[in-house]
Amino acid sequence: MDCGRRNTKKYNFRCTNLKELRKLSSFVLDPLDFKQCHGKLLSVLSADVVERLLSVLVRFYDPLYRCFTFPDYQLVPTLVGYACLLGILVSNKVPFSGIEEIHRSHIIAEALHLKKEATSFSQAGSVDAFEAIFVLLIYGLALFPNIDGFVDVNAIRIFLIGNPVPTLLGDMYFSLHLRNSKDGGTIVCCVPLLYKWFISHLPQTPAFMENEQCLRWSQILMSLTNDDIVWYDSALGSLEIIDCCGEFSNVPLIGT
């Protein structure tokens, strides 16, 4: 065994090409109305992911506590955090389990506001039909990527259930934990959402963003302290946030 060689886990991400979906977003007539109906899905499409930053992030994953552990702070994705980023509340509906029946074509067509023929959408110019199809494409290609350029049946099921946040969080944890146990590999989850979650906690000051010292991401993240981290979105200011246990700050609360 070569004891002198550093054992470094190598991760990569399945980053779907969202160029065509971004083009379709220009056909959304009323972005505010779209946001009210479907959440912040357009912001997921517009995320300019820095894969190198995520590759550094996952090296700090702690499989014991299911969180990212840094020298002076810990970060953990939560249902509330993901729901806030997506603008989609976690509903009381049972989350996707994978054992749901496969819906018949007429049920899917009804959910997409389609008539007997898909061409009726283009002829009628139905906004409802366009937005439903567009949202389904976002679910299948961006939120729950599986096969490139293909919306699989599970994405359709989640779209019809209408409660994507628990599955998005579960996908991320499952894939990250699996790849960590296998000493690396391809992480399959909603990469733009994971990226948006992480950068939402990083300092937004000009000095940090400009990085005039040209430090590597690993150096930057290691140098941050508890006081540098943005702990929660200002929109959640009315919520009571548990961030310590007695005299101990940043204690992971297992099961919360």
pLDDT of residue 127: 77
End-to-end CA, the chain: 42
- 116-138 tens-digit pLDDT: 433 344 445 677 888 888 898 89
Least confident of 36-40, 139-143, 153-157, 244-248: 244-248
pLDDT, position 242: 63
**Residue 31: pLDDT above 80?**
yes
Q: What was the pLDDT predicted at 236?
A: 64
Give the per-residue pLDDT at 3. Answer: 40
pLDDT at 254 over 50: no
Tokens of 76: 């953990």
Per-residue confidence (pLDDT) for residue 125, from 0 to 100: 62
Burial of 54 (0-12, 13-18, 19+ CB in 10 A): buried
d(CA 184, CA 11): 5
pLDDT given for residue 98 in this prediction: 64
- Using the predicted structure, report yes or no on whether residue 50 has a pLDDT greater than 60: yes
Decide if 172 contacts 182 (C-beta within 8 A). no
pLDDT at 178: 94
pLDDT in the model for residue 110: 60
> 136 vs 121, 129, 130, 144, 231, CA distance in Å?
15, 11, 10, 10, 32
Consecutive H or E run containing 245: strand 244-245
Distances (CA, A) of 45 to 14, 48, 121, 164, 230: 15, 8, 24, 16, 23
Residue 132 near residue 111, CB atoms below 8 Å: yes
What does the mean pLDDT of the chain come to? 81
Q: Is the dihedral of CA 171, 172, 177, 182 positive or negative?
A: positive
Q: What is the pLDDT of residue 119?
A: 38
User: Is residue 255 predicted with pLDDT exceeding 80?
Assistant: no
Mean pLDDT calculated for residue range 200-213: 81
Q: Give the model's confidence band at 246: pLDDT under 50 very low, under 70 low, under 90 confident, else very high.
A: confident
Q: How much is the pLDDT for 123?
A: 46
pLDDT at residue 7 tops 50 = no
CA-nearest of 72, 90, 58, 83 to 182 is 58
Task: Please give the average per-residue pLDDT across 163-189, as a whole number.
Answer: 93
Structure tokens belonging to residue 163: 């409660």
CA–CA gap between residue 156 and residue 152 (Å, rounded): 7
